[in-house]
């Protein structure tokens, strides 16, 4: 990013904070609990399996190849679900612009100040 863009973003952030719309401090893992990410992981895994099995069943019905597409898309859905669970567990589920440094999420502005 150019310095001009960075300055305008910092200026916008100052205006937001002055208006009382500042960002809330992130809670530690201990304070937040693990129920939210756990439910997201379970939902991601089940959704990927349902989509995979659904596509497999539809293709098998349409092409008359029972159960081959069902098996194949079940495996692909399971792999996609496991990948989503890995992303959530390792912290890749952050919003755009967030990065991980030494296991801690940092905003792009934090990186520039160092």
Which tens digits make up the pLDDT trace of 54-89? Answer: 999 999 999 999 999 999 999 999 999 999 998 888
- pTM, two decimals, is 0.57
Mean pLDDT within 22-30: 50
Query: How many residues in total does the chain contain?
Result: 114
Q: How many CB atoms lie within 10 A of CB 111?
A: 10
The sign one gets for the Cα dihedral 44, 80, 92, 22 is: negative
| Residue 60: both structure tokens together | 């098998």
Q: What does the alpha-carbon distance between residue 24 and residue 45 come to, in Å, rounded to a whole number?
A: 30
């Amino acid at each position: 990013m150019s310095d001009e863009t960075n300055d305008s973003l910092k200026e916008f952030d100052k205006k937001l904070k002055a208006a009382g719309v500042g960002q809330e401090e992130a809670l530690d893992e201990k304070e937040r609990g693990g129920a939210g990410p756990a439910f997201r992981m379970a939902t991601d895994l089940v959704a990927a399996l349902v989509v995979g099995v659904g596509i497999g069943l539809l293709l098998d019905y349409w092409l008359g190849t029972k159960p081959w597409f069902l098996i194949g898309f079940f495996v692909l859905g399971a792999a996609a679900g496991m990948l989503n669970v890995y992303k959530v567990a390792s912290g890749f589920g952050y919003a755009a612009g967030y990065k991980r440094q030494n296991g801690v999420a940092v905003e792009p502005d934090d990186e520039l100040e160092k």
